[in-house]
Structure 1
């Protein structure tokens, strides 16, 4: 299967009913490295408090998009508005190992960011494990001028919400 064919086989929609179980099953498609680089902890599966929090999304201050192949969750992108600064939101992506480096994370981000921007988010924040070259590459592709502040093994990025014109220029959309 080619790159384009793989992504056309994926359906993207908002996180919803039944997705907590799909996310738990997705744990088996994630290596310890993938789990560590997303959750910054040596966890054998997606942490249950995280699954529960996604089950309580309000689809305004916190929202998530899922990528499904058949009935299996293969990717997830989310934003969570910061209560003390409501124009800023944390952004995070999780992609099953078999689907990494195929453009799925970029596709999820390309769909998520404008959704958050329409809800008043003007800046994103992302903490990335410094050795996570794929995540840093995605950030640098989407925000070519992005700079990070390093603290130990973490790179922290403050990223402006792309304008409609800027978004099309950086993503080809």
Structure 2
């Protein structure tokens, strides 16, 4: 069983580009497809460049590290037309999927967004990504997706709801 207690969480930094590039080796073609919606064989260079330009206000990312290797990343990007909203995206290395890592990353990211005036996340999930849809449903049990064009769209209010007992 994977242990989150061994994982270190922190904001993405300028020196993390090579760690993120190396994470490609721990991602299946399916994981890359469901995150980037294309058949890319590795994490795309344009994504690495986007993260290099994080301002840690309108755009923020939290990473999960284990023994110096990047095993997960969650990010938000503020919607310029609706500055109280932000798009949410998460990517977790295959060996760590379904172990609560995505939930932990979002739990660290959400309070940062709230402190910066963001009241909710928007998430768009390709319909083949049942794992992500299940994780969203677990974190926001009252939220229902709106689906169209091969994707489920979610309106995720902040703060994240407290877990229900049971």
Task: Return the offset for 1:145.
Answer: 1.1
2:99 is matched with which residue? 102
Task: Return the offset for 1:119.
Answer: 0.6
Measured against aligned partners, the alpha-carbon deviations of 1:118-141 in whole angstroms (never above 9, x if no partner) come to 110012100001121111111111
1:122 is matched with which residue? 119
Task: Return the offset for 1:170.
Answer: 2.4
Using structure 1 for the length normalisation, give the TM-score. Answer: 0.91
Is the 1:65–1:108 contact (alpha carbons within 8 Å) kept by the matching residues of 2? yes
* 3-state SS of paired residue (2:65): strand
Structure 2: tracts of 5 or more residues without a match? none
Is the 1:110–1:171 contact (alpha carbons within 8 Å) kept by the matching residues of 2? no
* Structure 2 counterpart of 1:34, from 31, 34, 37: 31
2:85 is matched with which residue? 88
1:170 is matched with which residue? 163
Superposed structure 1 runs of 4+ greater than 6 Å apart: none
Using structure 2 for the length normalisation, give the TM-score. Answer: 0.95
Change (3 A) 1:117 1:171: farther
Distance 1:104 1:8 in 2: 11
